[in-house]
Amino acid sequence: MTFLDSPITSWRMLFRVIKNMNNKIWLMEGLSSQKDIIQGIKTFAAAHHLQLTVYASHRHERNEILSVADHALIEPQEASERLAFITDIVATHGIHHIHAGRNTLWFEENRAAIEATGVTLTTGSTSAEWLALAEDKVAFAGLMQQHALPVVPSWRVDSVRDLQNYLASPPFSDSPVCVKPVTGIYGMGFWRFDDTAAAMDLFNHPENRTVNPQHYLAALASAESFKPLVLMPYLPGPEYSVDIFADNGEILAAVGRRKEGAIQYLVNEGAAFELACNCARVMKADGLVNVQTRNDRQGTPLLLEINMRPSGGIGYTQHSGVNLPGLFAAFKLGLLTKDEVIGRAASAFSSVAVRAVTDVLLYPQTLSNRLN
């Protein structure tokens, strides 16, 4: 009787064997949360006795990020060199899964070539078309309306003249007018118009994101080029930011953050939470993504946008007991089943409040874990 024929060797024992394999996940250059994701995965693996290795890379020497991974790599600066770099690293180190935090459109367009090396790939989406749709806030709003999901009313502005016309005759009268770029991240370029705002308010209190519309128009008219804007009503809030782990549109785990001043309340239920999850389902989200909503004057949550990538605040969610990066890595490496992820997220959650504070990170002058 062979080992595999033995009645002692049940499927549970085979699963333990798989768990003890040195599974390797590679977190390529991300945005502001790359360090939190690495640490989340390593914390989860240690807590659940999972044998896995975390590789991390960046185009720049971000030692404060790369130093917390098991192995660090410096990515090529040029996109034209990226595929050859990936192919070489996968072959040399036996990588099992790649997570693309930045440049996701490039990764999606090159998915076939990357997965031909033997790895699986997560970009946050299932196609380049979904990524492009998520980046266009006006097109995104239109799709949500088609699916009967409440979304902030949005109008595209393609010129200074368009904006002048909208300001002369706003499409709504019960809220201040706001604008932001059609594509963008971190709320960059968001401004709320206030006819009473003084010119110096923009310099003395930029955190208020308030500007006199005439001053804004003058600056816009003097710019060398015009980037399309989206015009929308100002929503009083509160704002919800829902971090989601999805598998091809199916929600496996999610934690919402209700933002009230400096305090964020972690939740896993409610109208805003459910709206965000429904948005991720429609968008066929795949991996760690984030959906933002904000309440209107009637207290109804409206969709603002979906980011097909991890949010900057995903690390906060671990205080709820739900480790989204850890669940993601374990699932992608075959260490947890879909039902196990769903069950663990549901049983581990605890509603708590958190407050972000300024932190100082150790910056190693050299990387002892660097491979190239």
Q: Which residues contact 270 (CB under 8 A, 6 or more apart)?
A: 256
Q: What is the pTM of this model?
A: 0.90
CB atoms within 10 A of CB 249: 14
Q: Which amino acid is at 124?
A: G
Report pLDDT for 10.
53
Strands 177-181, 155-157: pairing is unpaired
**Secondary structure (3-state) at 258:** strand
pLDDT value for 323: 98
Q: Which residues of the chain have pLDDT under 70?
A: 1-21, 186
> How confident is the model at residue 3, as a pLDDT?
40
Domains in the chain, ordered, with CATH? 11-123 (3.40.50.20), 130-134+236-355 (3.30.470.20), 153-233 (3.30.1490)
Q: How far apart are CA 269 and CA 165, in angstroms?
A: 41
Beta pairing partners, 243:
255, 290
Mean pLDDT rounded to a whole number for the chain:
92
Specify the pLDDT at position 111.
98
How far apart, in Å, do the first and last CA atoms of the chain sit?
A: 47
Q: What is the pLDDT of residue 11?
A: 53
Cα Dmax for the chain: 86
Q: Is 21 helix (H, G, I), strand (E, B) or coil?
A: coil
